Each structure stands twice: as C-alpha cells, then as structure tokens.
C-alpha cells in the first residue's frame, strides 16, 4: 500500500469541541490540513472520522505516520 503524503513534520494544535464530529485527513493531500477535504477519492485512503469526547486542545498528526490516528504520537521525529 502506498504511504501517505507528509503534510508536516510537527503536530498541529487544534481546538476540539465536545460532541462535534471531525474527519482527519489520512492521505496528506488535503489543502485543509489536518482535516479531510475529499482529495483522497480514487486512492486507497479514507479519513479517520471521530467524535470529540471532550472539549480540548489536541495535537493532530500532520506527518500521517502516527500509530494513534488522528493524534500525534511523535512519529514525525523518525522522519
């Protein structure tokens, strides 16, 4: 399987709102990073859709290599 495009080499801090549904870009091609804009269509990628369990500031993965999608796990340090 093809690897995701690296959208950034550091996490992006985003304010999540309790109960809101988000679609995190897994392919790295969205121009609305870290959120999906549908550019994955025609690929093997699909967004990681999740509902925020609490209102908080979260470190969203931009390198697309995290083992804890959609959140940063430090994988960008290995690039």
Angle CA 13–63–76, to nearest 5: 90
Reported as a single tens digit per residue, the pLDDT across 60-79 is 999 999 999 999 999 999 98
Reported as a single tens digit per residue, the pLDDT across 1-60 is 578 999 999 999 999 999 999 999 999 999 999 999 999 998 999 999 999 999 999 999
- Tell me what pLDDT residue 64 has: 97
- Tell me what pLDDT residue 1 has: 55
Token representation of residue 55? 């209102």
CB 5 within 8 A of CB 27: yes
- Tell me what pLDDT residue 2 has: 78
Q: Where are the domains of the chain?
A: 1-79
């Amino acid at each position: 399987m093809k690897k995701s495009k690296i959208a950034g080499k550091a996490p992006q801090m985003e304010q999540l709102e309790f109960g809101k549904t988000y679609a995190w870009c897994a392919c790295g091609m969205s121009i609305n990073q870290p959120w999906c804009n549908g550019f994955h269509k025609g690929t093997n990628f699909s967004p990681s859709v999740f509902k925020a369990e609490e209102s908080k500031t979260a470190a969203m993965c931009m390198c697309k290599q995290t083992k804890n999608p959609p959140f940063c796990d430090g994988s960008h340090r290995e690039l």
